[in-house]
Amino acid sequence: DQQVKQNSPSLSVQEGRISILNCDYTNSMFDYFLWYKKYPAEGPTFLISISSIKDKNEDGRFTVFLNKSAKHLSLHIVPSQPGDSAVYFCAASGSGNTPLVFGKGTRLSVIA
């Protein structure tokens, strides 16, 4: 039972354009959401997070939007750069003894 879903396994975007990666979750107890980026042969690295008390968090070219009523979050990257090409994992957790639950990842390819 996937509590965190990333329905697009891959996404291709032209350099300079916006990349939008989507994530849906089913557990209404989740209150903290994160995005991780993973290059081949490396571990996932933390990118940006958002808590459920906010609906937007911005860090440079990266912005995460949270729509609690739709149980949906998205990561916007603008402008996209070739170095952004990686697999992006969405993760979520709830308060208490709940571990991070990860989505399956979306492979982003930014084409020069």
Q: Kindly state the number of chain residues that form the binding site for another protein, as judged by CB under 8 A.
A: 22
Helix (H, G, I), strand (E, B) or coil at 107: strand
Per CB under 8 A, which of residues 56..95 are in contact with another protein? 89, 93-95
Residues 16-55, one symbol each (x = binds another protein by CB under 8 A, - = not), give ----------------x-x-x----xxxxxx--x------
Contacts of 96 by beta carbon, 8 Å cutoff, 6+ apart: none
Does the protein bind another protein through residue 1 (CB under 8 A)? no
Contact (Cβ atoms closer than 8 angstroms) between residue 85 and residue 110: yes
Is the CB of 98 or the CB of 109 nearer to another protein?
A: 98
Q: 64, 88, 92: which is closest to 78 by C-alpha?
A: 64
Determine the Cα–Cα distance for residues 18 and 62; give it in Å rounded to an integer.
10
Residue ranges binding another protein (CB under 8 A): 32, 34, 36, 41-46, 49, 89, 93-100, 102, 104-105
